[in-house]
């Protein structure tokens, strides 16, 4: 029965995705979750090209279909650090809790590597990923600046306020 359900889900999802209709997003997300086993990682990857408002709505809907920790862990599994931070923010985890995993254990060398890699990403205009890497390196000002460059208007002030750094970039 599980294989039959998954086959039907995949066929229906393909038809809906091929239609290109954004109003089908909740149905497509539901289909990902009805598969056996649920395909949370693919559902999260589907959110990437959406606008900020569509992204927020879709993420809220996805979180209503699944346990927030499961979605958060799936985002981390995709190495989508920015996505994991957005999931953490959406499921009302303390924003600093998502960062606190890294902050106490960051060594100088780790921080230096993160800054160099963040700089590389910034030089290639991959601002959102640069911001996530700067966060891992505990370089708040650079992270906020990269979020601004990425036009992630909600992330920059939230991060600045959460970390108490002010928003003076």
pLDDT by residue (tens digit) across 66-88? 888 888 888 888 877 777 777 77
What b/e sequence results for 127-159 when a residue is b if at least 16 CB atoms lie within 10 Å of its CB, and e otherwise?
Answer: bbbbbbbbbbbbbbebbbbbbbbbebeebbebb
Tell me which DSSP letter residue 103 carries: G
Chain segment 91-147, per-residue pLDDT in tens: 654 344 555 555 455 467 777 888 888 999 999 999 988 888 888 777 888 888 888
pTM above 0.75, yes or no: no
Q: Please state the length of the chain.
A: 169
Inter-residue contact 117 to 141 (CB < 8 Å) = no
Q: Say what the pLDDT of residue 92 is.
A: 53
In this predicted structure, the answer to whether residue 65 has a pLDDT above a threshold of 60 is: yes
Tell me which DSSP letter residue 22 carries: G
Q: Say what the pLDDT of residue 123 is.
A: 94
Average pLDDT score over the chain: 78
* Residue pointed to by tokens 């809790």: 97
Alpha carbon distance 45, 74 (integer Å)? 10
Closest listed residue to residue 34, CA positions, set 73, 71, 6: 6
In this predicted structure, the answer to whether residue 165 has a pLDDT above a threshold of 50 is: no
Closest listed residue to residue 124, CA positions, set 88, 90, 149: 149
């Amino acid at each position: 029965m599980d294989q039959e359900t998954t086959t039907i889900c995949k066929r229906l999802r393909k038809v809906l995705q091929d239609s290109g209709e954004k109003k089908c997003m909740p149905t497509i997300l539901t289909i990902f979750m009805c598969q056996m086993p649920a395909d949370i990682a693919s559902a999260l990857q589907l959110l990437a090209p959406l606008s900020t408002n569509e992204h927020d709505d879709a993420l809220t809907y996805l979180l209503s279909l699944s346990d927030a920790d499961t979605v958060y862990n799936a985002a981390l599994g995709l190495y989508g650090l920015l996505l994991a931070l957005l999931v953490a923010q959406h499921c009302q985890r303390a924003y600093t809790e998502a960062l606190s995993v890294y902050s106490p254990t960051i060594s100088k060398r780790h921080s230096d590597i993160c800054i160099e890699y963040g700089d590389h990403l910034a030089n290639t205009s991959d601002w959102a990923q640069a911001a996530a890497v700067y966060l891992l390196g505990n370089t708040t000002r650079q992270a906020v600046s990269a979020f601004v460059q990425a036009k992630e208007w909600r992330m920059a002030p939230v991060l600045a306020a959460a970390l108490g750094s002010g928003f003076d970039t």
